[in-house]
Amino acid sequence: MCKFYICSNEILENFARIRKTVGKKVKVCAVIKANAYGFGARKVVQLLNSQADYFAVARLTEYLQVKDELNKPCLILTPLNEKESAIAIKNGAEITISAGSSLEKINNVAAEANIKARVHIKLDTGMNRFGIKIPEELNRLLTKIKSLENIEIVGAFSHLYSAEDAETSTSQRERFLAYKKVFESHKCRPIYHFANSEGAKNPLNHFDMVRIGYDLYAGNEPSWHKLVTSVGEIKELSKGEIVSYGGKFRARKNMRIAICLVGYADGVKRQLSSRGKVLINGQEAAILGNVCMDCFMADITGIEGVKAGDEVVIFGKSQEKYISVCDVAKLCDTIPYEIYTSISQRVKRVYFWRKNAGNCRQISGEKAGKP
């Protein structure tokens, strides 16, 4: 069985580092979209309920999956259609208002439920994705909301499209400040949030709250998290024989190969075909031929004693060797975010606490010690 070992201490340590960076006066919103970047949204909520000030997801379905675990507000970052908005409001979610949102219908749904719809207004400061694009448009929207009794403006936010670039970040921040003046002219004081993980490293981006995603889970290398599977079978290969679909790999000599029980349906990218390496018994083993849906083959010709059932590490540590997620992402011409979020639901998440760490406190389903 393929398993994703997740170190709970590491997530808490990452959060503590972020809290220290932004200070106690700035709220921290833990972004748990895409199943908490692959780390398991329900477990992450359990871990951070007493730490985070806010949570955020991208979809209504994601909110509904975690709402029973939440004891802090949760924002759905993506604008919803009318039907989804109604469900979200009635279930206690905070929703995003963008250029195409139907304010009257949102107000009516809230009025029928005898509640106020808690909304965050999305502001487009240059990414050209969702959001209000010009201050005049925001002015009209705020004027309209004043006439609607069942909508409460809770937040106003934007998103940095290149947070590591000082020039573009400054330009976006200046536009965000221009929007802030419009809110002030309406005597409206929402929670302003602008920074993502990278953006939060600059205090000028903090405002009232920062939204932290990837850096919560895997901001540091080396990491204790690891993705593993096992050897299903050993095969002897003669010179000239092919391996896997398409016959693109042909043995140039007699070889010994391991069939590893994980494939692209589990999250191992096909871009690793005949390019990637894994760790078996603490040694590197090259992936041979195309990655299959449920398995791939690895060269164990020079590795002694490999047998069925032995651990195969796709990323993480095996004895003294280590493969980082960044290394895997580079080979796949992508970013580490995609490697983590591609780990599918059929991969079992195993949560553990690193021994002797100062923040050990187990939650349901976790184990103490190394994976």
Q: What is the DSSP letter of 94?
A: B
- Quick check: 3 and 348 in contact, CB under 8 A? yes
Distances (CA, A) of 167 to 4, 51, 134, 160: 38, 33, 20, 12
Q: Which amino acid is at 222?
A: P
- Please name the residues in contact with 166: beta carbons below 8 A apart, sequence gap of 6 or more: none
Q: Is 74 helix (H, G, I), strand (E, B) or coil?
A: strand
Q: Which of 5, 27, 33, 351 is catalytic?
A: 33
Amino acid type, 285: A
Which residue, 160, 155, 222, is CA-closest to 188? 155
Q: Classify residue 38 as left (phi > 0), alpha (psi -120 to 50) or beta.
A: left
Handedness of CA 149, 62, 16, 369 (dihedral sign): positive
Other beta carbons less than 10 A from residue 322's beta carbon: 16
25 is catalytic: no
Within 213-347, strands assigned E span 226-237, 242-243, 249-250, 255-260, 277-280, 283-288, 296-299, 311-318, 321-323
Question: Is 33 assigned a catalytic role?
Answer: yes
One DSSP character per residue, 138-198 reads: HHHHHHHHHT-TTEEEEEEE---SSTT-HHHHHHHHHHHHHHHHHHHHTT---EEEEE-TT
Three-state DSSP state, 48: helix
Catalytic residue among 235, 245, 355, 367: 245
Which residue reads 């976006």 in tokens? 172
Q: How many other CB atoms are found less than 10 A from the CB of residue 361?
A: 11
* Rounded (10°) CA dihedral 39, 42, 48, 54: 110
Which residues have a catalytic role annotated?
33, 245
